[in-house]
Structure 1
Amino acid sequence: MTNDLGALDSQGWWAVVVTYEGKATCARFESVRPAEHPGGVWARPGEWSSSLDEAAYMAGVERIRSAIADGVVYQANLCRVLSAELPGESSIAGLGARLATGNPAPYSMTMKVPGLEVACASPELYLSRDGDVVESRPIKGTAKTVDGLTAKDDAENVMIVDLVRNDLGRVAEVGSVEVPGLCELEEHPGLVHLVSTVRARMAGGGWPELIAATFPPGSVTGAPKASALDLLEVLEPVPRGPYCGAIGWVDADAGRGALAVGIRSFWAENGLLRFGTGAGITWGSDPLREWRETELKAARLLEVASGDGAGPDLAERGTRRS
């Protein structure tokens, strides 16, 4: 196991987690096989606390709108982290298995190594690489149904596509960056997303250079990225950890890999189970609507963590502040 991203260009099959704050964990495995996934209850709905309650989150939305009016940013992704006590007998591996059945996602992954336990059900591709061809599929625009999507969602998606094009352009061959898919509709359990595809051919370098040019993912930061990161550091009271970072695998021997944006993800830390949720804020954002979007994104996943496969819509229940 190493914290050096350069190892991903060496040899072997690696599981990778990079926290939003930039700490990398790369674990090389001699073989990959199904693991035991015990069941259990990880956290009941009423047990979760939130780093930002409804009032604080809505105030943060207004702060971002003021920053947009002042020309500091034109989009920022405001997030909050939920926490609950993790029962000692509960297994992250078991939670990963429940996510795979209760909330199937294209970039599901469970990783448990010393000092790090993550169960991910991400629908969003941060980076894939096949030789020198790289691709990112940012998600921007979320609603319960297609009818709930608005012009704001399209505008937000296009903003982030421009950011991702610029990020990939730092390491791409001149003229190779393209957008083969823009604002395409994807359906996932309990909600719909707008997804775009940005593709490029690398001019040189490896995983460290690629991640350095594009991290943190644009869809969970904002634009301009540097200004959004400064603003979010002020507004968000706790670190995001693996949430909004990168989670995935790299086959160094084959020159291939796929890293998801670390959304729809749980992680264990200091006896607590944590989960992050957020929303992209633009000038057209309504604070209450954005709060409800964070609830919508969390609802199904918190239901899975309760050990129940069905139940009332948790988006209607809210959370309490720690």
Structure 2
Amino acid sequence: MKDAFAHVGGTLATGLADVTSDPAALDSGGWWAVVVTYEGKVTCARFTDVRPGRPPAAPWRGPEKWTTSLDESAYVAGVRRIQDAIADGVVYQANLCRVLSAPLPAGADIAGLGALLAEGNPAPYAMTLRLPGTEIASASPELYLARDGDVVESRPIKGTARTVAGLLPKDRAENVMIVDLVRNDLGRVAEVGSVEVPALCAAEEHPGLVHLVSTVRARLRSGVGWPELLAASFPPGSVTGAPKASALTLLDTLEPVPRGPYCGAIGWVDGDSRRGALAVGIRTFWTADGLLNFGTGAGITWGSDPVGEWRETELKAARLLEVSTGEGLGQR
């Protein structure tokens, strides 16, 4: 079996010591890699050797052909179903996703894909992780939760285009809706009056596209730990919808396969310093049952153009899929 490791932000963690599904462990000592699937399965892995470093050198060969859990006609029909639900007052917005899958080529190593993504699509919350039964290479641009002591911050993304000029009024409206949702989520565990929005709908450039990004910050109440913080805010609002409970129910009827790590949480927690950063699991590859998977989606509002939303899912996936085929570029 290949050695377990985590690589995030220039830090290489090896020496796997513990694996648990209990997020309360994150409030104890040690450095932890964390994955929470969209469906809520928690994996916390403690590593004993944490140091600056590059990911392990490994070969990679990208898949040749992808299939999708929702083709264009099914996706467009799903968008219209969501718009019907908006008209009926069930939701205001919902994030419809699809999962792309391809056979994992023989000899391909997730570490090689992670290095390739770091070269071809650098991202602020990138992470590569190999654990028993879990392999992930993420180029996430979105912060779900960062914690420094009692201060917690989320930076939801809503609004995507190729250029700033391509952003629509619908994008800003969608972002504001999700900011309200995140404010309410954090408010459940925050000190009264501490929730603030330092930045609203700021344009942020990433490889091949531009996003609208907001920042929500709060101070946690005394006694609040990672279990309470996750319970109050998971799944991330930017990849579910508003109201969150209604959106989750609706999306469960429209999406034919589980999202897995996609749209979940991926990152690290240092229990000794009480710091950590969990990304939203977007722009993320993961392996399962001999397949390499990749998720993509779009936020649907009353003003959405169904075909335009399908094209947004293609835009979000295009660069990452192209980078993943760059045979040899990530090998060192």
For residues 68-117 of structure 1, the C-alpha deviation after alignment (integer angstroms, 9 at most, x for no partner) is 00000000000000000001200011100100110000001001000100
1:40 match: 60
Match of 1:276 among 295, 298, 306: 295
Match of 2:324 among 302, 305, 320: 305
1:21 match: 39
Distance (whole Å) between structure 1 residues aligned to residue 102 and residue 164 of structure 2: 32
Distance (whole Å) between structure 2 residues aligned to residue 35 and residue 165 of structure 1: 36
Residue 302 of structure 1: SS of its match in structure 2?
Answer: helix
1:255 match: 274
2:210 match: 192
2:146 match: 128
1:107 match: 125
Distance (whole Å) between structure 2 residues aligned to residue 307 and residue 115 of structure 1: 25
Q: What code does the residue aligned with 2:62 have?
A: W
The gaps in structure 2 that reach 5 residues or longer are: 1-18
Q: What code does the residue aligned with 1:281 have?
A: I
Distance (whole Å) between structure 2 residues aligned to residue 126 and residue 93 of structure 1: 23
Q: Give, in angstroms, the shift of residue 40 of structure 1.
A: 2.2
Distance (whole Å) between structure 1 residues aligned to residue 141 and residue 56 of structure 2: 24
1:65 aligns with 2:91: no
Q: Conserved in 1, the CA contact under 8 Å of 2:55 and 2:115?
A: no
Q: Give, in angstroms, the shift of residue 43 of structure 1.
A: 1.1
For residues 205-263 of structure 1, the C-alpha deviation after alignment (integer angstroms, 9 at most, x for no partner) is 10010000000000000000000000000000000000000000000000000000000
2:134 match: 116
1:293 match: 312
Q: Conserved in 2, the CA contact under 8 Å of 1:125 and 1:261?
A: yes
Determine what percentage of the aligned residue pairs are the same residue.
76
Distance (whole Å) between structure 1 residues aligned to residue 328 and residue 139 of structure 2: 15
1:211 aligns with 2:230: yes
Q: Conserved in 2, the CA contact under 8 Å of 1:102 and 1:309?
A: no
Distance (whole Å) between structure 1 residues aligned to residue 62 and residue 325 of structure 2: 6
2:199 match: 181
Q: Give, in angstroms, the shift of residue 39 of structure 1.
A: 3.4
Distance (whole Å) between structure 1 residues aligned to residue 263 and residue 69 of structure 2: 15
Q: Give, in angstroms, the shift of residue 180 of structure 1.
A: 0.3
Q: Give, in angstroms, the shift of residue 307 of structure 1.
A: 2.1
Residue 31 of structure 1: SS of its match in structure 2?
Answer: strand
Q: Conserved in 2, the CA contact under 8 Å of 1:171 and 1:210?
A: yes
1:95 aligns with 2:116: no
Q: Where in structure 1 do 4 or more consecutive aligned residues deviate above 6 Å?
A: none
Distance (whole Å) between structure 2 residues aligned to residue 309 and residue 287 of structure 1: 38
RMSD: 1.1
Residue 107 of structure 1: SS of its match in structure 2?
Answer: coil
Distance (whole Å) between structure 2 residues aligned to residue 14 and residue 92 of structure 1: 19
Residue 289 of structure 1: SS of its match in structure 2?
Answer: helix
Distance (whole Å) between structure 2 residues aligned to residue 140 and residue 249 of structure 1: 24
Q: Conserved in 2, the CA contact under 8 Å of 1:51 and 1:238?
A: yes
2:261 match: 242
Q: Give, in angstroms, the shift of residue 282 of structure 1.
A: 0.1
1:151 aligns with 2:169: yes
1:54 aligns with 2:75: no
Residue 158 of structure 2: SS of its match in structure 1?
Answer: strand
Give the TM-score taking structure 2 as reference length. 0.91
Distance (whole Å) between structure 2 residues aligned to residue 118 and residue 308 of structure 1: 18
